[in-house]
Amino acid sequence: MYNNDEEGESSTLPVVALGGTFDHLHAGHKILLSMAAWIASEKVIVGVTDDELLRNKSNKHALESITTRKERTHAFLKLFRSDLVYDVVAIKDVYGPTAWDPNIQALVVSKETLPGATSIDKERSSKSLPLLKTFVIDVISSTSERVEHEDIELLKQAKMSSTFIRQWIVDKGQQDSTM
C-alpha cells in the first residue's frame, strides 16, 4: 500500500472512505476494507454501489442484493475491528458521501480505481472541500502472485473479481443442471 501524501508518512486519520460493489465479498474486497479500517481512528464510510448503477454488469442475475452486500461488508468490518464506527451506505453515483462530507480525510482505492480518486478530488475541490489523502492498494490477481500491469484494462482482466465469481456461479449452475 502506498499513499499520495508528499511526505510519504502513513498515519491514521479519523474518517476514511472507500467504495465499490462488494458483490460476493472476496479477498480483494477484504484487503481494501481491512486497510481502510487500519488507517481509520474513528470511522469508516463504505459506499456500496446501488443496483441502479449495476444494470450493465455481466451475469447481473447472480449479483447479491444491495442489502446482502451492505450486511456482509459491515459484518466483515466489525469482525476485523470492532472499535470503529462503520457507515455502510448505498451509493447512487460514483462519489457517494465523498462528494459532500467534509469530515472525510482519506480514500482507499485499488490501482484499478485510482482514476476515480482523482475525479473525487476534482468534485470536492469544486465544492471547496478539502482534498483527500489517497491510499492505493495493489490489485489482487485471481491467477498469479502479483499483477505488474499499469494498464487499467489489463488490471481489470487479471484481478480477482466479483465478475469472475458470478461467472463461476453461472457455470456451476449450468453444470449442475446437466447432471
Q: Which residues pair with 133 in a beta bridge?
A: 106
Secondary structure class of 116 (helix, strand, coil): helix
**Distance from C-alpha of 127 to C-alpha of 66, rounded to nearest angstrom:** 29
Average pLDDT over residues 49-61: 73
Residue 115's pLDDT is: 92
Under the banding of pLDDT at 50, 70 and 90, the label for residue 158 is very low
For the domain that residue 108 is a member of, what is the CATH number?
Answer: 3.40.50.620
- Is residue 1 situated within a structural domain? no
Which carries the bigger pLDDT value, residue 148 or residue 74?
74
- Is residue 4 situated within a structural domain? no
Which carries the bigger pLDDT value, residue 63 or residue 174?
63
Domain enclosing residue 61, as ranges = 12-177
Under the banding of pLDDT at 50, 70 and 90, the label for residue 40 is very high
- Is residue 3 situated within a structural domain? no
**Distance from C-alpha of 18 to C-alpha of 112, rounded to nearest angstrom:** 13
pLDDT in tens, 104-122: 999 999 888 899 999 999 9
Number of structural domains the chain divides into: 1
Element (H, E) at 108: strand 106-110
How far apart, in Å, are the Cα atoms of 7 and each of 3, 38, 60?
10, 19, 43
> Sign (positive/negative) of CA torsion 163, 166, 171, 174?
negative
- Is residue 6 situated within a structural domain? no
- Grid cell at residue 38: 487500519
- Is residue 168 situated within a structural domain? yes
**Distance from C-alpha of 123 to C-alpha of 163, rounded to nearest angstrom:** 28
Under the banding of pLDDT at 50, 70 and 90, the label for residue 128 is very high
- Is residue 154 situated within a structural domain? yes
**Distance from C-alpha of 85 to C-alpha of 95, rounded to nearest angstrom:** 20
- Is residue 5 situated within a structural domain? no
- Work out the percent of the chain whose per-residue pLDDT is above 70: 68
- Is residue 71 situated within a structural domain? yes
